[in-house]
Structure 1
């Protein structure tokens, strides 16, 4: 996955330059530059507008003393589309428009949900570890257990906690902590 991200960060700018040169040859340099500038301005305006909406909702929630509502997927998609429009390039503009247009948003949302579900499933399988049937039960996990134990139960140590609190008559056991029975 990391390799694909690195490849994307290297390939996308190269593809953007190639597409921009081709479009510049087809329609002219100044119209191509004007389209790129218009996309950047539109994207910046969308991000600013959605950011203001989110900030206003947060302030209203804090003033009324309630928890803010979780962001709607549509709002996040609109911000993502605006960011993609603000990035100079025709390919990112096309993808940004797919995030913004009402008739393409359900398709993008479904593809994103499938990708996230598959990614979560892969991460859960990785953390499960061999022979431990539950996610988050692998040896690398902070929730992991002792090898060979499926339920996470280990030896039980019985004892009592003695706290030496100021003003109590518990005695002078401040150095002992847990004592066995």
Structure 2
């Protein structure tokens, strides 16, 4: 239901803003603003996206909880899509998502409403239980344990002379493409 409302409301808001802004400053300045916000947004998304990618890699390297850096990266990606979509409302939401304070507030808002049971990275087991905004995390490092799977492979039996002769003889006639 919310998605349907968004697909109906957002274009209507954009059309109303285009008419209002275009009526106040004219067609060409309105189009120039839309083009400039797309260019500026692309530049900001690229620079902040690289920083977010670095934060995600750092959290994986240090075996920290990657939830917040991944959420910031996802919000930067959404901001890029919104900034490339022509319109003033989508640009405003996109620029808001590019501000770290707004992203952090959105992360904490959704963190209170999402329950994470556990995540696993490498040899470290972490469990986080979120209830009412409070979380308790327990970690257990297993540096002495190596998980692995194996299967026993029997050596293949050696072929006898009759099987070797069958391999040497072609089982089909020459097609002209191959030499036998």
Question: TM-score scaled by structure 2?
Answer: 0.49
Structure with more of its chain in strand, by fraction: 2
Greater relative contact order, per chain length (Cα 8 Å cut-off, separation 6+) = 2
TM-score under structure 1 length normalisation: 0.48
Max Rg structure: 2
